[in-house]
C-alpha cells in the first residue's frame, strides 16, 4: 500500500483525539496493518490528560494570578509563600516545555498508547522512525487570522508570567511603587491569558487531522512496508523500528512515556526521525527544537538532510525550529540524536494547522508521493552512515 491509501483509512475516523476512544481505534488499525506486513508489534499503554495545550497555561495562569493579586492587595508575612508558589507555577511551565518526562498537570488522566515494531536485540545500532497519530482541537488560537501571530501572543504571555514573581519579590524588599507597576502589568497580561485559554478550552473541537498528523503516520506506515520488503538495501546490523505515538498533542506524552520506559534499551547512538504535518508546502527539516530551551538536532541527521537538498531541486528547505515542539524534543532532551521533518511553505506556515480545514481534501497527494520516495532514500543513507 502507498501512503495515500493509509491516509484514506486514517481519515475515516472523525478525529483521533488524544486519549479518546477514536485514538485507541486508530492505534488498533495501525497495529493490525503492521502485523499484516509481517512485523512483531508491541503496544505500550499509559495514562495522560486529554489536553495540556490549553489547560496547562490556564492552570499556571490562575496560580500566578492568585499569587500576584494577593501580593498587590494584601502583602504581609505570607508574601514569601506567594513568591515561592509563583516560582513553582513558572517551574511547571518550564518543565513542560523542556521535553523532560515529568507530569505537570493535575487534570484527570485517560488511557493512551504507543504502537511500535519490536526491537531486534541482535542488532547493535538502531533507527527509530516515528509519527504521532492523534489530533488536536482547533480553537480561536489557531484561527487563520490569528495563527501567524502566535509567537507574539506566546512571548507576551511568558513576559506576563515572569513579571508576577518579580513584582512579588520587589514587594518583599519594600520597593512598593515599582513592584505595584510590575504586578499591575503582569496581572493584566495573565488575566487576559486566562480568558483566552478558557475560551479556547471551552470552544475547541477536534479536527480530522489529515495533515496533522495523518500524513506523518501514513508515510511511516508506507516506510515500514518498504523496509520489510527491501531489507537488502539496509545494513545487517542496523535495527529499524517504526514507532507511532499517542497523545503527542498533549505535550509529547507518547514519546516521553516511550523514552521513559525503554531508554535503557536504547544506546546513545540511536537515531530518531520524526515525521509530522507533511501534507502541504515543501519538505522542511528543523535544525533544532524548543522556543525557550533550544536544543540542536543530531549532526549526522542534519548533514544527510543538507546533502540531499542539492539533489531535489528546491523542494527541500530548513528552518530553525517551531513555536510548539515535535516528538523530537523529548528524544533530544534525553540525549539522543533526532530530527523532525514537516511540510511548510517559504514563510514557515504549516498547512491548515490545528484548524477545521485540516481534511484529506486539503492534502497535496503529489507531495505525499514525492515524500515517500525522499524518505526511502533518506533512511537508507542514515542507515549506511550509521553503519
Residue range 54-105, pLDDT digits in tens: 999 999 999 999 999 999 988 778 899 999 999 999 999 999 999 999 999 9
What's the chain look like in SS3? Answer: CCHHHHHHHHCCCCCCECCCHHHHHHHHHHHHHHHHHCCCEEEEEEEECCCCCCHHHHHHHHHHHHHHHHHHHCCCCCHHHHHHHHHHHHHHHHHHHHCCCCCCCCCCCEEEEEEEECCCCCCCEEEEEEEECCECEECHHHCCCCHHHHHHHHHHHHHHHHHHHHHHHHHHCCCHHHHHHHHHHHHHHHHHHHHHHHHHHHHCEECCCHHHHHHHHHHHHHHHHHHHHCHHHCCCCEEEEEEEECCHHHCCHHHHHHHHHHHHHCCCCCEEEEECCCCCCEEEEECEECCCCCEECCHHHHHHHHHHHCCCCCCEEEECCCCCCCCHHHHHHCCCEEEEEEEECCCCCECCCCCCCCCHHHCCHHHHHHHHHHHHHHHHHHHHHHC
- Report d(CA 255, CA 107) in Å as an integer: 20
Q: Nearest CA to 88 among 186, 16, 164? A: 164
**Which residues, other chains included, contact 142 with Cβ-Cβ below 8 Å and sequence gap of 6+?**
150, 353, 354, 355
- Report d(CA 207, CA 137) in Å as an integer: 6
Question: Per residue in 146-180, pLDDT tens?
Answer: 999 999 999 999 999 999 999 999 999 999 999 99
pLDDT band at 222 (very low <50, low <70, confident <90, very high): very high
Q: What are phi and psi of 326, to 5 degrees?
A: -105, -175
Question: Per residue in 257-268, pLDDT tens?
Answer: 999 999 999 988
The mean pLDDT value for 272-276 works out to: 98
User: 3-10 vs 216-229: helix axis angle to the nearest 10?
Assistant: 140
Tell me, what's the pLDDT at 48? 97
- Report d(CA 203, CA 220) in Å as an integer: 32
Tell me, what's the pLDDT at 291? 80
Does pLDDT of 293 surpass 90? no
Least-confidence region, from 47-51, 99-103, 381-385: 99-103
- Report d(CA 142, CA 203) in Å as an integer: 12
In this structure, whether the domain defined by 3-47+113-138+205-386 belongs to CATH 3.40.630.10 is answered with yes
Within the chain, which residue ranges are assigned CATH 3.40.630.10? 3-47+113-138+205-386
Does pLDDT of 137 surpass 90? yes
Amino acid at each position: 500500500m502507498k501512503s495515500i491509501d493509509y491516509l484514506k483509512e486514517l481519515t475515516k475516523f472523525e478525529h483521533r483525539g488524544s486519549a479518546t476512544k477514536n485514538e485507541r481505534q486508530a492505534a488498533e488499525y495501525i497495529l493490525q496493518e503492521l502485523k499484516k506486513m509481517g512485523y512483531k508489534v508491541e503496544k505500550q499503554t499509559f495514562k495522560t490528560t486529554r489536553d495540556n495545550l490549553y489547560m496547562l497555561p490556564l492552570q499556571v495562569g490562575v496560580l500566578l494570578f492568585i499569587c500576584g493579586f494577593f501580593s498587590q492587595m494584601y502583602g504581609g508575612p505570607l508574601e514569601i509563600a506567594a513568591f515561592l508558589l509563583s516560582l513553582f507555577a513558572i517551574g511547571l511551565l518550564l518543565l513542560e516545555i523542556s521535553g523532560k518526562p515529568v507530569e505537570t498537570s493535575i487534570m484527570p488522566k485517560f488511557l493512551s498508547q504507543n504502537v511500535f515494531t519490536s526491537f531486534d536485540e541482535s542488532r547493535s545500532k538502531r533507527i527509530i522512525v516515528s509519527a504521532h497519530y492523534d489530533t488536536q482541537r482547533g480553537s480561536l488560537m489557531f484561527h487563520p487570522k490569528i495563527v501567524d501571530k502566535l509567537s507574539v501572543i506566546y512571548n507576551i504571555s511568558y513576559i506576563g508570567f515572569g513579571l508576577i514573581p518579580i513584582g512579588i519579590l520587589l514587594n518583599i524588599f519594600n520597593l512598593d511603587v515599582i513592584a505595584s507597576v510590575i504586578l499591575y502589568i503582569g496581572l493584566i497580561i495573565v488575566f487576559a491569558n486566562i480568558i483566552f485559554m478558557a475560551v479556547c478550552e471551552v470552544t475547541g473541537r477536534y479536527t480530522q487531522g489529515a495533515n496533522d498528523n495523518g500524513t506523518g503516520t501514513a508515510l511511516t506506515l508506507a516506510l515500514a512496508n518498504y523496509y520489510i520488503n527491501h531489507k537488502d538495501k539496509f545494513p545487517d546490523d542496523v535495527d529499524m523500528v517504526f514507532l507511532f505515538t499517542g497523545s503527542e498533542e498533549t505535550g509529547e506524552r507518547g514519546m516521553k512515556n516511550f523514552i521513559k520506559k525503554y531508554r535503557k534499551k536504547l544506546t546513545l547512538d540511536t537515531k530518531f526521525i520524526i515525521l509530522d504535518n507533511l501534507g502541504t508546502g515543501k519538505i522542511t527539516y528543523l535544525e533544532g527544537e524548543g522556543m525557550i530551551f533550544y536544543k540542536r538536532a543530531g549532526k549526522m541527521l542534519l548533514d544527510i538532510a543538507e546533502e540531499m537538498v542539492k539533489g531535489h531541486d528546491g523542494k527541500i528547505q530548513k528552518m530553525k525550529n517551531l513555536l510548539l515542539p515535535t516528538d523530537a524534543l523529548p528524544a533530544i532532551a534525553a540525549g539522543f540524536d533526532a530530527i523532525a521533518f514537516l511540510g511548510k511553505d517559504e514563510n514557515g506556515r504549516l498547512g491548515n494547522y490545528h484548524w477545521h480545514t485540516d481534511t484529506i481534501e486539503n492534502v497535496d497527494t503529489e507531495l505525499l508521493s514525492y515524500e515517500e520516495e525522499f524518505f526511502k532514500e533518506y533512511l537508507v543513507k542514515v542507515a549506511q552512515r550509521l553503519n
